[in-house]
């Protein structure tokens, strides 16, 4: 499963990319508002594109098909790796069909059901993003949507990639991987948690400690 970083923070993107931990980045208007400061959002997106060897999702804010199409064409000029995020609306799917015909990659965002995922795939989207955390927040079993979408896409040979979004904790990542999501987009805090386990730290402390004892003992033996 590919891992994308869900952020618009350049420092976080630089860190995760240099560490070789990520295959792409997703942004949205909220994340740009949080992290861009006074910098023009298109400049932030351009910089992210240069830092990452993989898809970078940038979202349109128009909500009519023509507006989304025009905005998407502008966003696509920011980098060769731009994927345009289009909201899951009837007009959005019209825009996705046109953009796909133009060879522009798309990510249909704000998907909350498997049939919305099916519609996005039929429109030719490159990715579709079911929002797991937001579904769990209202008492749904978010993983069911990923499971259903996986089955539907496999039944019909649909090539759209399922991008598990709105990830809140490492179990979301593990479960999305087990039910066959193609990608998970993860906030930096969760990505850091994926690296950690207390038994790893405890085990390493013991190995290093025992090695020091061994070295001290064998030195003594050599000297005596
Ligand atoms: C990514 O594509 C989504 O915009 C993001 O994962 C949404 O996450 P949130 O529900 O934590 O805002």
Which candidate in 85, 105, 192, 206 is catalytic?
Answer: 85
Say whether pTM exceeds 0.85.
yes
Are 83 and 55 in contact, with CB atoms under 8 Å apart? Answer: yes
> Which of 152, 144, 138, 145 lies closest to 113, judged by CA?
145
d(CA 214, CA 40): 58
What is the tally of structural domains in the chain? 1
pLDDT in tens, 79-106: 999 999 999 999 999 999 999 999 999 9
Determine, yes or no, domain membership for 40.
yes
For ligand 1, mutation pick of 82, 83, 165 (most atoms within 8 Å of CB): 165
Residue 85 lies in a domain: yes
Let me know if 122 is a catalytic residue.
Answer: no
Task: Return the SS3 of 5.
Answer: strand
Please report, for the domain that includes residue 62, its CATH number.
3.20.20.70
Q: Is 15 strand, coil or helix?
A: helix
Q: Is 62 part of any domain? A: yes
pLDDT tens for 113-166 read 999 999 999 999 999 999 999 999 999 999 999 999 999 999 999 999 999 999
């Amino acid at each position: 499963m590919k891992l994308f970083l869900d952020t618009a923070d350049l420092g976080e993107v630089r860190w995760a990319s240099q560490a070789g931990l990520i295959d792409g980045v997703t942004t949205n208007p909220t994340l740009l508002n949080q992290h861009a400061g006074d910098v023009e959002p298109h400049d932030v997106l351009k910089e992210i594109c240069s830092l990452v060897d993989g898809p970078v999702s940038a979202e349109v804010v128009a909500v009519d098909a023509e507006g989304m199409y025009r905005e998407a064409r502008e966003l696509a000029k920011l980098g060769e790796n731009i994927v345009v995020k289009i909201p899951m609306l009837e007009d959005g799917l019209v825009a996705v069909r046109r953009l796909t015909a133009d060879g522009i990659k798309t990510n249909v965002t704000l998907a909350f059901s498997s049939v919305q995922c099916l519609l996005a795939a039929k429109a030719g989207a490159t990715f579709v993003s079911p929002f797991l955390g937001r579904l769990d927040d209202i008492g749904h079993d978010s993983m069911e949507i990923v499971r259903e979408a996986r089955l539907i896409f496999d039944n019909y040979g649909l090539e759209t990639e399922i991008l598990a979004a709105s990830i809140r904790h490492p179990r979301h990542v593990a479960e999305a991987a087990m039910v066959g999501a193609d990608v998970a987009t993860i906030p930096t805090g969760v990505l850091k948690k994926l690296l950690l386990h207390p038994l790893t730290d405890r085990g390493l402390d013991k190995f290093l400690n025992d090695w020091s004892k061994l070295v001290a003992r064998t030195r003594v033996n050599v000297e005596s």
